[in-house]
């Protein structure tokens, strides 16, 4: 840390470590961020290194993990890539795209990552911390760890757990998930594997996802505190609110909370799916049931289907072709089906995908140019440089409305020079952001490059009403609560529940 930002001058950071992946670190940080904001503090989220294909783009065009963007919303501030200086985006075959301070700087194998990227990674983490403190000297960092902090085969090259904790002399919380079982062993084992100077940083323990009567854990709490000499500062009950998952595998466990849906949506579960937080606004619509589609089937039970974003578009298009889903989607279209593709999904709906620079999965196959599903007369060529930017535009269909969102993609997409292109119309005033066409028998096929399109309340509601009219259902009220207001409500509910059971006072001094 530079001479202008001395450790003894800053508010003590709070760091949330976990006994394992999935212990609840992300939501705990989100809750603490909102709790401290409500107390009048200036919390800022931070995660030195995250691995996720669920990304956000800041106003400088920098990529960051969506979980840190959500935590920034909880703080009431604008997300910035400095809050997640290293983002690793897995792309199969034990390789990941490496992103530093929002910019893609290379591809690395798991085997070579720490040999090639550990030193520059630590430098970019320190640079981000210095920048945050220079800009916000009165802030309190709320830091999220990754996985377990005591993976002994990796601990010497762990960039984002105890190395950050020691560098900042943070007050650390250890979170464990009692739902998984073995909570006592998780806590004791994690602490025993820490060095004495590391264990001293642990100032509190949180028992997460407790079901039943909290009083039944009094003896367990007393035993943990006696054995570790660390207070249990919170026993958090099981919470049911839906949040974006960090790992796309969690999608398989997500269930609709609504019992009487009027509209059924099928989302194609691509092997390399990305930006699945695009669909959170749909999950918060009471009239909608979402089902994830993983294998060939008759899609006619769905009122519309979505092809999501992909980190390896050519690889995923080959998957669709080989498993039969590509033909299923064509059959669905011919049967008055409604289809939306987002980013990679848009590209797959076109006639061709060309990957001359081996950016989108074609290096695993013999062909660098393949056929798309062929439902939109568009062709895509993947370029060397990725486009990342925030979007402010205006939609032309299914309504005229202001649109916000962001782009993350390599591909450049153009209309085919064929007669069928005459039947295609731009969705937005910026014509390169998406197209749609109406099927002869009914239904529409649409595709857009805009991530977060469903967060636009008017656009989402008008599209849903398009589907509802086709089913002779009453249209939705345009004055319904906005998704962003619902997200705020969910964050507030999360913070309020944590605040009931969590004592942070000893960590704030």
Question: What positions carry a catalytic annotation?
Answer: 343, 451
CA distances (Å), origin 413, targets 32, 176, 407, 433, 446: 42, 46, 13, 9, 14
| Of the candidates 178, 210, 236, 177, the residue with the CA atom closest to the CA atom of residue 35 | 236
Place of tokens 């205006």: 394
Torsion (CA) 340, 360, 108, 98 in degrees, nearest 10: -40
Q: What share of the chain is helix, strand, coil (3-state, %, to 5)?
A: 35, 30, 35
H or E element at residue 125: helix 110-135
Annotate 479-504 with DSSP letters as a single string: TSPPHHHHHHHHHHHHHHHHHHHB--
Give the separation between CA 333 and CA 445, rounded to whole angstroms. Answer: 8
Helix ranges restricted to H, 136-271: 162-168, 183-192, 196-199, 218-228
Cα 183 to chain centroid, rounded: 27
- Find tokens 């390789």 and name the residue: 95
The H-or-E segment that residue 304 falls in is strand 304-307
- Decide if 33 contacts 71 (C-beta within 8 A): yes
Cβ 395 vs Cβ 459: under 8 Å: yes
Number of H helices, E strands in the chain: 14, 25
């Amino acid at each position: 840390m530079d001479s202008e930002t001395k450790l003894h001058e800053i508010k003590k950071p709070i760091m949330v470590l976990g006994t394992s992946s999935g212990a609840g670190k992300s939501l705990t940080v989100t809750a603490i961020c909102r709790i401290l904001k409500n107390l009048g503090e200036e919390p800022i989220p931070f995660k030195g290194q995250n691995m996720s294909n669920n990304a956000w783009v800041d106003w400088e065009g920098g990529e960051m993990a969506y979980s840190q963007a959500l935590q920034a919303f909880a703080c009431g501030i604008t997300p910035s890539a400095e809050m997640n200086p290293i983002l690793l985006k897995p792309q199969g075959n034990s390789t990941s795209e490496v992103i530093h301070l929002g910019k893609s700087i290379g591809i690395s194998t798991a085997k070579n990552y720490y040999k090639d990227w550990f030193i520059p990674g630590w430098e970019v983490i320190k640079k981000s911390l210095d920048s945050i403190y220079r800009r916000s000297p009165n802030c309190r960092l709320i830091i999220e760890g990754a996985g377990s902090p005591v993976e002994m085969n990796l601990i010497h090259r762990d960039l984002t757990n105890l190395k950050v904790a020691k560098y900042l002399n943070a007050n650390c919380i250890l979170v464990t998930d009692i739902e998984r079982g073995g909570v006592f062993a998780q806590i004791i084992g994690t602490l025993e594997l820490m060095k004495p100077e590391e264990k001293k940083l642990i100032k509190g323990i949180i028992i997460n996802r407790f079901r039943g009567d909290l009083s039944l854990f009094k003896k367990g709490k007393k035993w943990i505190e006696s054995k570790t000499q660390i207070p249990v500062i919170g026993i958090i009950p099981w919470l049911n609110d839906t949040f974006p998952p960090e790992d796309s595998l969690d999608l398989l466990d997500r269930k609709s909370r609504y019992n009487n849906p009027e509209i059924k949506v099928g989302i194609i579960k691509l092997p390399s799916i990305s930006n699945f937080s695009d669909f959170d606004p749909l999950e918060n619509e009471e009239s909608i049931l979402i089902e994830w589609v993983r294998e060939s089937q008759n899609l006619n039970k769905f009122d519309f289907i979505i092809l999501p974003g992909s980190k390896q578009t050519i690889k995923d298009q080959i998957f669709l072709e080989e498993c039969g889903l590509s033909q299923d989607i064509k059959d669905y279209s011919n049967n008055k089906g409604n289809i939306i593709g987002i980013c990679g999904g848009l590209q797959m709906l076109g006639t061709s995908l060309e990957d001359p620079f081996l950016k989108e999965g074609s290096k695993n196959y013999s062909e660098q140019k393949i056929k798309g599903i062929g439902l939109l007369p568009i062709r895509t060529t993947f370029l060397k440089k990725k486009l990342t930017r925030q979007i402010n535009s205006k939609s032309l269909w299914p309504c005229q409305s202001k649109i916000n969102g962001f782009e993350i993609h390599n591909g450049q997409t153009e209309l085919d020079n064929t007669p069928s292109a005459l039947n295609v119309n731009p969705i937005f005033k910026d014509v390169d952001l998406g197209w749609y066409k109406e099927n002869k028998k009914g239904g529409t096929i649409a595709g857009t490059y805009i991530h977060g399109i469903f967060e636009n309340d008017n656009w989402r509601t008008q599209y849903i009403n398009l589907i509802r009219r086709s089913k002779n259902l009453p249209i939705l009220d345009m004055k319904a609560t906005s998704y962003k207001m619902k997200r705020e409500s969910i964050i507030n509910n999360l913070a309020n529940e944590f605040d009931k059971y969590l004592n942070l006072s000893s960590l704030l001094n």
